[in-house]
């Protein structure tokens, strides 16, 4: 304490030298949700270079889409693509595929053997919390449409389910990008609705589980239109699907509310679903059953398994909150 009113914390000399600070240098202090202070030698988020350069060659072409999406996830603001000995049509296909999977990825400039992509996402308009909410709601609506397909056999519903899976994929990548930006210091956790940084791991498990549930919903829809159920099991399939859908809804609600009671309700459905699944398989153990029927059962089982993963992430998240306490404002 100096002067009777000013508190001072000294900076370690080795750290000051390693980051290139000297007398008169500015440092940046960020107040985190738990009231701890983060001191940085440069502005928040500057540790991530704004531009990422990717060189596409015939050898790297097969993984070019992954490279672009990884740069998007890492939080770069722009991606400079340079291509050598590669047909421009192949490069355009790579870009269009990447753009179909990522929100805010746009082509802004084209030069000889070079294309500049910019990532335009307003995180003040769509926060991490809102991205997660839209992702879970879209997946829920896919399951609700699939229920109508089970009940009515209306094949036109399949297109709607597939289309919304593309939305889920985009929201998943956006949420993961926002999460990376939080962990790297580019975004404030509190501004994005994240209470504690250790909860990021549980959120990743949650997001991936929801994204995989959406994928299996698409598989269900496609397999449903390829087969007809054996007489006597149609309603059993509908019952099993409704049970599976309810497990997802309860699991997501429990995660959002951080409420153990929802997790308990999901776990109570496990044995009921297992028994119903076994009954259906026994009735289907006859010759001439199309393989798609068993693929449907497999997808339903996997959706229930991912719902259990969400339950585990919920319990883990609750323990983090209990250990660190509620977020301070």
Q: Give me the pLDDT at residue 226, please.
A: 84
* Mean pLDDT for the stretch of residues 268-272: 92
Whether the CB-CB separation of 207 and 213 falls below 8 Å is answered with no
Q: Give me the pLDDT at residue 34, please.
A: 66
HEC profile for the chain? CECCCECCCCCCHHHHHHCCCCCCCCCEEEECCCCCEEEECCCCCCCCCCEEEEEECCCCHHHHHHHHHHHHHHCCCEEEEEECCCCHHHHHHHHHHHHHHCCCEEEEEEECCEEEEEECCCCCCCCHHHHHHHHHHHHHHHHHHHHHHHHHCCCCHHHHHHHHHHHHHHHHHHHHHHHHHHHCCCCCCHHHCCCCHHHHHHHHHHHHHHHHHHHHHHHHHHHHCCCCCCCCCHHHHHHHHHHHHHHHHHHHHHHHHCCHHHHHHHHHHHHHHHHHHHHHHHHHCCCCCCHHHHHHHHHHHHHHHHHHHHHHHHHHHHHHHHHHCCCCC
pLDDT tens by residue, 230-246: 555 678 888 999 999 99
Q: Give me the pLDDT at residue 212, please.
A: 98
Distance (Å, whole) CA 220 – CA 304: 13
Whether the CB-CB separation of 310 and 202 falls below 8 Å is answered with no
Q: Give me the pLDDT at residue 329, please.
A: 45
Residue 249 pLDDT > 90: yes
pLDDT tens by residue, 177-204: 999 888 877 777 878 888 888 889 999 9
Q: Give me the pLDDT at residue 108, please.
A: 87
Of residues 122 and 104, the one with the higher pLDDT is: 104
> Which domains does the chain possess?
12-43 (no CATH), 51-119 (3.30.110.140), 128-324 (1.20.58.220)
Of residues 5 and 250, the one with the higher pLDDT is: 250
Q: Give me the pLDDT at residue 123, please.
A: 73
| Token couple for 45 | 């988020």
Distance (Å, whole) CA 312 – CA 263: 8
pLDDT tens by residue, 78-111: 999 999 999 999 999 999 999 999 999 999 889 8
Whether the CB-CB separation of 183 and 200 falls below 8 Å is answered with yes
* Percentage of residues in the chain having pLDDT higher than 70: 92
Q: Note if the pTM is more than 0.85.
A: no
Mean pLDDT for all residues in the chain: 88
Distance (Å, whole) CA 119 – CA 295: 38
Q: Give me the pLDDT at residue 42, please.
A: 66
Distance (Å, whole) CA 170 – CA 167: 5
Residue 257 pLDDT > 80: yes
pLDDT tens by residue, 297-327: 999 999 999 999 999 999 999 998 888 776 5
* Mean pLDDT for the stretch of residues 67-82: 94
pLDDT tens by residue, 15-62: 888 777 888 888 888 777 667 888 887 655 445 568 899 999 999 999
Distance (Å, whole) CA 283 – CA 224: 18
pLDDT tens by residue, 160-183: 999 999 999 999 999 999 998 888
Q: Give me the pLDDT at residue 149, please.
A: 82
């Amino acid at each position: 304490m100096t002067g009777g009113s000013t508190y001072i914390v000294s900076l370690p000399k080795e750290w000051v030298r390693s980051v290139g600070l000297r007398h008169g240098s500015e440092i940046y202090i960020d107040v985190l949700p738990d009231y701890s202070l983060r001191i940085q030698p440069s502005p928040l988020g500057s540790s991530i270079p704004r531009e990422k350069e990717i060189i596409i060659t015939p050898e790297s072409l097969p993984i070019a889409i992954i490279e672009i999406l990884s740069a998007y996830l890492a939080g770069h603001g722009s991606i400079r693509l340079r291509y050598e000995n590669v047909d421009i049509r192949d490069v355009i296909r790579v870009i269009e595929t990447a753009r179909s999977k990522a929100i805010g990825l746009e082509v802004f400039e084209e030069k000889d053997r070079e294309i500049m992509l910019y990532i335009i996402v307003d995180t003040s308009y769509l926060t991490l919390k809102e991205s997660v909410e839209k992702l879970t709601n879209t997946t829920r609506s896919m399951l609700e449409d699939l229920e109508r397909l089970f009940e009515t056999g209306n094949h036109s519903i399949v297109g709607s389910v597939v289309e919304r899976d593309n939305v889920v994929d985009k929201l998943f990548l956006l949420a993961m990008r926002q999460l990376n930006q939080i962990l790297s210091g580019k975004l404030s956790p509190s501004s994005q609705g994240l209470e504690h940084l250790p909860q990021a791991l549980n959120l990743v498990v949650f997001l991936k589980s929801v994204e995989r549930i959406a994928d299996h919903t698409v598989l269900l829809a496609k397999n449903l239109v390829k087969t007809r159920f054996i007489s006597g099991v149609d309603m059993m399939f509908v019952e099993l699907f409704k049970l599976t859908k309810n497990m997802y809804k309860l699991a997501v609600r429990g995660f959002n509310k951080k409420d153990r009671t929802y997790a308990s309700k999901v776990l109570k459905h496990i044995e009921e679903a297992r028994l119903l699944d076994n009954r259906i398989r026994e009735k289907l153990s006859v010759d001439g059953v199309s393989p798609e029927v068993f693929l449907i059962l497999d997808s339903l089982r996997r959706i229930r398994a991912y719902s259990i993963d969400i339950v585990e992430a919920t319990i883990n998240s609750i323990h983090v909150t209990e250990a660190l306490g509620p977020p301070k404002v």
